[in-house]
Amino acid sequence: MSKKKDKPDMFAENKAIMPYGDSVGAPSIHPTNISAYKQEKVIKTNHYFEARFDEIKEEYRKLLEAYKWNELVYNSDFRFEPIKGKTYYLYQREEDETLFLSLIGPDEWNQIYIGSFRLDSDDKWDKIN
């Protein structure tokens, strides 16, 4: 026969993790209702993600627009090496509708003006409004 260690009645092991009181005099344990807390945090977090998504979407739109302008300028006709930081002007030829880059401003001659651009230090064309 194996000897069994006798424990007193009403003895509980691991009292700290019990979901109920361990004696008659123990306070009653009621789980806290955290549904309002959860709902508030879900709404707040969803607003954060929506705002961040809109920011990223706007940043993507601007990046795509800058990409298209750079592609347009780099594919245009120019026979000089642009200097970084200097402003250049993009025009369209009337006869064949090809694009060309020029040093001459739109107020100095009568050509179909597309836009003004400045070459930055990363060799990216920035459109100037």
**Which tens digits make up the pLDDT trace of 11-40?**
667 777 777 777 777 777 777 888 999 999
**How many CA atoms does the CB half-sphere of 66 hold within 13 Å?**
14
Task: Tokens 């993009």: give the residue.
Answer: 90
Q: Which amino acid is it at 109?
A: W
Output DSSP code: residue 12.
-
Bridge-partner residues for 115, per DSSP? 90
CB atoms within 10 A of CB 90: 23
Give residue-wise pLDDT tens across range 97-114: 999 999 999 999 889 999
Question: Is the pLDDT confidence value at 8 over 80?
Answer: no
pTM equals 0.65
Question: Which stretches does DSSP call E strand in 1-129?
Answer: 87-92, 99-102, 112-119, 125-128
Domain ranges of the chain: 29-128
Average per-residue pLDDT in the chain?
88
Give the whole-angstrom CA distance, residue 75 versus residue 124: 13
Q: How many residues does the chain have?
A: 129
Mean pLDDT of 66-93: 96
